[in-house]
Amino acid sequence: MTLSSDGPTTLTPARIRLALLALALGGFGIGSTEFVAMGLLPNIAQDLLPGLYAQSSAEANANAGWIISAYALGVVVGAPTIAAAAARWPRKRLLLALLTAFTLGTIASAVLPTFELVLIARFVAALPHGAYFGIASLVAASLMGPGKRAQGVALVLSGLTIANVIGVPAITWLGQAAGWRIAYLAVAAIFALTFLAVLAAVPWQAGDPHATMKRELRAFTRGQVWFTLGIGAIGFGGLFAVYSYVAPLATEVTGLGPSLVPTVLIAFGLGMTIGNLVGGRLADWSVRRTMYLFFALLAASLVLLGLTAAHPVGLYLGVFLVGAAASALSPTIQARLMDVAHDSQSIAAALNHSALNIGNGLGAFLGGLAIAAGFGYVAPVWIGLVLTGAGAILAVASLGLDRARGRRGVVVPYATGAIESIEL
């Protein structure tokens, strides 16, 4: 039996599993709404930018990539704002409010008539993204118990990665068959189902009664928080430079038919699912070693994909490895943020998703520029490699600073509440 965070209520293992499943279902919906645009980008471009698409499909696809960037910008704005303002809210009530906003925003994305209005709707629909993952991660960590913080984060994120195995390919197929607007309505239905699941299964958890916006925003006064945000924002651009344009990469470079694009997304999603779970477990062992390992693997995977994307085996293997290495970094970076943010835990748990979606927007934007400039659909892979290298350099600098302080006998208060010496 496990105690809930409120103290008096005991939870059976079955109830805990149901609660974690409900939280992960929200991640499944978020993964679907965030990534389905990648597979349907040509369909969206043809429908919302018909004149430009008739002149140049490559330029229309690049411009349609702004839909991805608009969603990423919404995450960046919404995550710290909502997390800081609502840290005192009971966590279950906040999750339900965020799921309501997701549902309405996704419906608006599906029904609005023009490219400009859809851009606005995608921005608005993204505002709850980071706050949901942040609060859900805190709830999951409390349900998992001591010493399993990163694994709790990974379980919530597993919904997002599984979405890339099942949800995104299935909804991409639906969008290709029935129209991209129907695809977004299907995503809205997932959010509505998640609302009911969280309502029924997640135990009531109080917010932090001592939290204030000033205390949460204090995280931004810490240099290591900015270092870690930079690691995620720049390093994850390597993933999204590739993922944003994976559909035209598969059809125009590898020569696959549009009907096979969902299978490429499945390969991406399988890699992300496996990498996320492995990264969560390894990060509970050593954040530093896990970050070094998977930045190296991500760089090697991008090189492999860039050199072999013209061949189907190279494409499938490359996207699988890119997805696995990048996804392993996500719970690792979130654990690092929660360590260096000290008592600003609500905003720290949400800021990871701001950082990753800056990477989303940056990768999509730079990849789109390269395609529009005529460098081809492989160019975003090499841009991704540069961004990954820059993120790795920031990781070495940040963790190296910790090691230097450790040699001077400095200790760091970890987010679990324990005081641990810096790893040497």
Domain-wise residue ranges, the chain? 10-202+216-416
Q: What is the pLDDT of residue 1?
A: 40
Looking at the domain that runs over 10-202+216-416, which CATH code has it been given? 1.20.1250.20
What is the DSSP secondary-structure string of 299-313?
HHHHHHHHHHTTSHH
Q: What is the rounded CA–CA span in Å between residue 340 and residue 332? A: 13
| Total residues belonging to the chain | 424
pLDDT at 400: 81
Please state the separation of Cα 194 from the chain's center in Å.
18
Integer angstrom CA distances of residue 26 from 221, 223, 225: 31, 32, 26
Average pLDDT along the chain, 424 residues, taken 10 residues at a time: 46 82 91 82 85 81 81 82 77 92 93 91 90 83 71 75 80 88 94 94 75 68 81 85 86 87 85 85 82 92 93 94 90 80 68 77 84 87 92 87 60 38 31
What pLDDT shows up at residue 299?
94
Q: Is the pTM of this model over 0.75?
A: no
Q: Which pLDDT belongs to residue 405?
A: 64
